[in-house]
C-alpha cells in the first residue's frame, strides 16, 4: 500500500513543499521542491531510503542543516579567515615578528592579527610554521622547538 504525506511552508520569499511517500518495496521517498512566487524553482531534490531509516535520517539532516545554517549566519570577524597562507604573507609575518615593534608577545600577536585580518590563534600557530618562536618576539625557533611545534627551525629558514 502506498501512502503519502505532504507539507508546505513559506520561508521568506521561498515556498517549500515536502512530500514523503512510502511505496510497495518498503522504501521511503522524500521529494523537496522550493520555488519563488514567480514559479522559479530554486531548490529540488529526492532522497530514497528504507522506511525504518526515515526518523533517524530526519534527525541527522536536522542536525547537519541546522549546524550549517548557524555557521553561515555567523560570518567571521576576520576577513582572511580560512584563506590560504602564501609565501609573501609568510615572509611578511616572519619579518614583522623578527623585527618587532613591540616586545610583548600578546600585544604583537594581536597587532599582527588585526593587520593581517586573521585571528590571534591563527597568527600564533603560523609563527611556528615560519620558524619563529611564538612566545618571544624577535627570536627564531631552535631545531628542538621546531621539531616539538611542527614548524621550521630558524636556522633552516630559506633553505630547501
* 3-state DSSP assignment of residue 32: strand
Residue 24: what pLDDT?
A: 77
Residue 109: what pLDDT?
A: 96
Q: Rounded to whole angstroms, how far apart are CA atoms 93 and 80? A: 14
Highest averaged pLDDT of the listed ranges 14-18, 70-74, 155-159: 14-18
Residue 23: what pLDDT?
A: 80
Residue pointed to by grid coordinates 542543516:
65
Residue 87: what pLDDT?
A: 96
Residue 57: what pLDDT?
A: 86
Residue 77: what pLDDT?
A: 79
Residue 2: what pLDDT?
A: 83
Q: Rounded to whole angstroms, how far apart are CA atoms 28 and 40? A: 27
Residue 158: what pLDDT?
A: 46
Q: Rounded to whole angstroms, how far apart are CA atoms 138 and 88? A: 19
Q: Between these two residues, 153 and 50, which has the higher pLDDT value?
A: 50
Is the predicted pLDDT of residue 153 greater than 80, yes or no? no
Q: Which domains does the chain have, with CATH numbers?
A: 3-72 (3.10.450.700), 87-156 (no CATH)
User: What is the maximal distance between C-alpha atoms in the chain?
Assistant: 77
pLDDT in tens, 11-63: 889 999 999 999 878 899 999 999 999 999 999 999 999 988 888 888 888 88
DSSP 54-90: HHHHHHHHHHHHHHHHHHHTS--SSTTTTPPP-HHHH
Residue 94 banded pLDDT, cuts 50, 70, 90: very high
Residue 159: what pLDDT?
A: 41
Is the model's pTM score more than 0.75? no
CB 101 within 8 A of CB 118: no
Q: Please report the sign of the dihedral spanned by the C-alpha atoms of residue 72, residue 76, residue 79, residue 85.
A: negative
Residue 155: what pLDDT?
A: 53
Amino acid at each position: 500500500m502506498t501512502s503519502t504525506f505532504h507539507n508546505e511552508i513559506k520561508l521568506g520569499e521561498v515556498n517549500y513543499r515536502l512530500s514523503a511517500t512510502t511505496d510497495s518495496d518498503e522504501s521511503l521517498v522524500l521529494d523537496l521542491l522550493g520555488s519563488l512566487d514567480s514559479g522559479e524553482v530554486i531548490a529540488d531534490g529526492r532522497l530514497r531510503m528504507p522506511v525504518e531509516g526515515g526518523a533517524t535520517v530526519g534527525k541527522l539532516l536536522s542536525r547537519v542543516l541546522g549546524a550549517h545554517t548557524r555557521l553561515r549566519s555567523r560570518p567571521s570577524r576576520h576577513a582572511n579567515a580560512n584563506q590560504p597562507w602564501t609565501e609573501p604573507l609568510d615572509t611578511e609575518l616572519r619579518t614583522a615578528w623578527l623585527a618587532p615593534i613591540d616586545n610583548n608577545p600578546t600585544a604583537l600577536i594581536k597587532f599582527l592579527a588585526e593587520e593581517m585580518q586573521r585571528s590571534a590563534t591563527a597568527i600564533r600557530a603560523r609563527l611556528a610554521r615560519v620558524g619563529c618562536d611564538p612566545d618571544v618576539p624577535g627570536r627564531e625557533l631552535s631545531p628542538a622547538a621546531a621539531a616539538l611545534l611542527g614548524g621550521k627551525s630558524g636556522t633552516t629558514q630559506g633553505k630547501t
